[in-house]
Structure 1
Amino acid sequence: MNASPPAPETLRGAWIALAGLSAVFLFEMLDNSILTVALPTIGRDLHTSTVGLQWVTGAYSVVFGGLMLAFGAIADRFGRRRVMLTGLVLLGLASLATAFVTSTEQLIAVRLTMGVAAAMTTPGSIALAFRLFAADGLRVRAMSLITTVGLVGLAIGPTLGGLVLAVAPWQILLLVNVPIAALAFAGIRGGIAADRPDELHRDPVDVIGAVLGTATIVLALVAPTLFVDEGTGSWSPWSASAAAVVGVILFVIRMRTAAHPLLDLALVARPLVSSGLAYKAASGLALAGLGYLVTLQLQLDWGWPPALAAIGMLPQVVVLVASGPFVGRFVGRVGLDRAAWLSAAAVVLGLAVYAVLGHLGYVWIAMALALVAAGIRVNGVVAGTNVLRGLPENRTSIGAALVDTASEVATGIGIAVTGTILAALFAGDIATGGWSSRQTAQFHEAVTLGGLTLTLVAGALVAWGFVRTRVARSGA
């Protein structure tokens, strides 16, 4: 067996690999944000219904979230680098196919394929970045750099999309993924060594567990959308939720009884792993729920036009992008474990500020957005690092997939919680202008209750994560 090359001692020593991994994360963040601004144009061009437009974006997210665990397990079995390179080829081909799309169904098929490619590549970017370096400090700085590139894409996506649409057809917005995939492929192939046999495991792939896990996650992601779209009076969101619960039970039974389970639940129960997942779930819950409530408040309650409401979200974007250079210094000063719970606590504090004071004026909303963004910016790096630190080397891909899955599912739950509370307390069509004084009072009550509910749930997750971190520290 060949000896592995020495781990780089600086970020510059791994710049080729980091460029490739950053391109992967750029695709994930840029994709939906740049496409959203084109949805009206796509609707007119392809004669797409409202439901069709919803699936143009939703199909990608559901497939992406549902398949991450399965591909994480496959990558740990057959090679992280190999699976990622295959996913990048699939991404490039699917993006090229956009040039030949002539119907909504074809576009949804392209988006489904891109979701599969994203599930193959995104968890691997965290696992490979972790594997590149031996020192935790360099791992944190590398992940911070990668996420900063992605967040820049998230921030400029809508603006870039609007500028492109002014001079070119909407297909260009998806064709831009082709050079991104090519850059990522070249960087990863040239900068990261092939997986060594001792870094992988040879257990058979748990196909039944993969099917159960994928179905459960898909149902968990679809149910919140159904609650928001169809309301609590419809049978379909409750049916999807019940099916998701049944799926969880069957998945756990399978994981406990299979000879070679897709996900060893004993690994998830490790203190560092469970604490990192709890912190990540709290962040996903806060980001989605707060963004949903603030957007509705600015536009529907205060009457801000969409452009002004977008400017109103800038504190969040600015903090997410600008705080990147400070993450490594902060973590180096306080340590990984303390940085994890402090950043998660900032997320809960931001939610509490919004729930209690957000109705008093925009300055409090801006403060809440900034606090949540600052917490997420640190937590997004250190929570993932802690999860991977707590796992064996041959399980890092499924660990990274767990981190992303926890965030995706928590995002769906955050929107479901706030959407369900609004639907239960607000009488009438919330999108219709000219609210009565009674409807305005109902909206304010729903926003406060929704914000407090998110605060309590996120706070419970952070408290659990803190306890598990203390257990890990005492065990060490």
Structure 2
Amino acid sequence: MALAGLSAVFLFEMLDNSILNVALPTIGRELHASTTALQWVTGAYAVVFGGLMLAFGAVADRFGRRRIMLIGLVLLGVASLATAFVVTAEQLIAVRVAMGVAAAMTTPGSMALAFRLFDEDGLRVRAMTLISTVGLVGLAIGPTVGGFVLAIAPWQVLLLVNVPIAALAIAGVRGGIAADAADELHRDPLDLPGAALGTATIVLALVAPTLFVDQGAGSWGPWAVTAAAAAGAVLFLLRERSARHPLLDPRLVAHPLVSSGLAFKAAAGLATAGLGYLVTLQLQLDWGWTPALAAIGMLPQVVVLVAGGAFVNPFVRRVGLERAAWLSAATVVLGLAVYALLSRFGYVWVAVALVLVAAGMRVVGVVAGTNVLRGLPKSRTTIGAALTDTATEVTSGAGIAVTGTILAALFTGDVAAPHWSAHQTTQFREAVTTAGLTLTVVAAALVGWGIARARHAANDPAATPVAEVVPEHA
């Protein structure tokens, strides 16, 4: 029951945006929404979700992971029901904001509670693999299911489907997971200034990539938001280093298992987002494929993501958690390098890149997250899970921003124009190579740093999982 409930939580996160994207044209027509409003229908959810994860992770570690998750699931059900009464784009955006809050309350807790269910690392990996597989199936079938639903039902049904998912999750969590034990929570006061700074920093970091893509690197707006995000990050770090009860103790983040896991997740997020963005543009704009044919072209990635779950556990048993983490992260980087260097020579190289990235991401998503939680005290596991998700969200946005900025700098004219000149085609392919190699170098540096941290954890007895190490000031 517990795993069914937690799988339903992750299904909601993965299914939500993917199933809605296909309905955006219909929503625009029926609600008379502008292009900007439609962007915020999906963007508001992502920004709120990413921005609030750390704060709600800290709240869950303080007041109970099961309790916060159940509250978030009730909010999800109510917000989804409200979709039936939406008549304007602004109302729909408000509903999406509420869903983003619900996702921030529930998603980090799903990993933390799955980790808590078992004491043996092998069982933990199996549980997280099962949960992630259910979510990835939702991500894969979401657009197709959404298209069929729109043919026979109004678009509101696509969000109303969250109501039975929330009900299943509530039943599974209530019936299968006991309330948090007192010794697995902490009693520190909440760091409200740190939570505010952390949320503002992450929100700005998530908004900046969209501005770079929409306004271009020549506009002052994206750079101003990026500078504000950097300033917020510095202030957040200073606050956490000086606070008596920090939201996120820097000493815990510096633990080798935690920092290496975060580095691997960040590298995978950067590479995966950049690859997805570039492949979509190449198939449809450079090669002239229809959207349907381009969707078929992405199938190698979908198949590996969904079917690869069967190979995660045997692979981890064979090589161990730490080695599986860096090998899978390195595979993601290798796939991106293959795409950057060879994609212009035909689809077969694109397919190879998609398979390599998907295979690496399938493993690193589970293993790196498990290692992060292994390196934290039991009383801090939810904020650790939130930190891994936040690292992925922020670096994914950065990957899109880098590719979009390089493309804008190297490509003259409108990239969406139906017919390119030979010179524009050359420019686009040079931009693909430049962007791909740039992301490869950055992701490889993250993986290299993560490997160094992981080796420190393996060689230093003092760097073993901290189990119940509590900061001195606590």
TM class, shorter-length: over 0.9
1:251 alignment partner, one of 233, 236, 243: 236
Output the CA distance in 1 between the equivalents of 2:4 and 2:314: 22
Say if 2:305 is the partner of 1:320.
yes
Q: How does 1:368-407 map to 2 (within 5 A)?
A: 368-407=353-392
Deviation at 1:338, TM superposition (A): 0.6
Q: 2:219 aligned with 1:219, yes or no?
A: no
* 1:164 CA displacement: 0.4
1:364 matched residue in structure 2: 349
Structure 1 Cα separation of the partners of residues 243 and 451 of structure 2: 31
Matched, 1:139 2:124: yes
Please say if 1:130 is aligned against 2:134.
Answer: no
- Structure 2 distance, partners of 1:429, 1:253, is 43
Deviations along 1:50-75, one digit per CA (max 9) or x if unpaired, are 10000000000000000000000000
Partner of 1:12: none
CA offset at residue 230 of structure 1?
A: 0.7
> Structure 1: which 4+ aligned runs deviate by more than 6 Å?
none
Q: Show the 5 A alignment for 1:62-461.
A: 62-461=47-446
Write the distance in 1 (CA, Å) between the matches of 2:404 and 2:416.
Answer: 13
AA in 2 matched with 1:386? N
Partners of 1:466 and 1:55 in 2: CA distance: 38
* Long gaps (5+) in structure 1: 1-15
Structure-2 separation of matches of 1:403 and 1:58: 20
1:49 is matched with 34
CA distance in 2, matches of 1:387, 1:359: 38
Kindly state the Cα deviation for residue 252 of structure 1 after the two structures are TM-superposed. 0.6
SS of the residue corresponding to residue 189 of structure 2 reads coil
CA deviations on 1:316-353 (whole Å, 9 max, x unpaired) are: 00000011111011101110001001101100110110
* Alignment size in residue pairs: 461
Q: Counterpart in 2 of 1:4?
A: none
3-state SS in 2 of match to 1:321: helix
> In the alignment, does 2:22 pair up with 1:22?
no
Residue deviations 1:225-252, cap 9 Å, x none?
Answer: 0000110111110110010011011101
The aligned counterpart of 1:11 is: none
Taking the aligned partners of 1:454 and 1:370, their CA distance within structure 2 comes to 18
Q: 1:437, 1:362 → 2: CA distance? A: 20
For 1:393-451, what per-residue CA distance to the aligned partner results, in whole angstroms no more than 9, with x for missing partners? 00000000000000000100000010000011111111112111111111111000000
Residue 470 of structure 1 pairs with residue 455 of structure 2: yes
Query: Residue 9 of structure 1 corresponds to which residue in structure 2?
Result: none
Identity of aligned residues (%): 78
Q: Normalized against structure 2, the TM-score is what?
A: 0.97
For the aligned residues, what is the CA RMSD?
A: 0.5
Q: CA deviation at 1:475?
A: 1.4
d(CA) in 1 for partners of 2:388 and 2:234? 20
1:197 CA drift (Å)? 0.8
Q: What amino acid is the match of 1:444? A: R
Which residue type is aligned with residue 314 of structure 2?
R
1:33 maps to: 18
Unaligned runs of 5+ in 2: 462-474
* Cα drift, residue 48 of structure 1: 0.5
List per-residue Cα deviations over 1:381-404 (Å, max 9, x = no partner).
000000000000000000000000
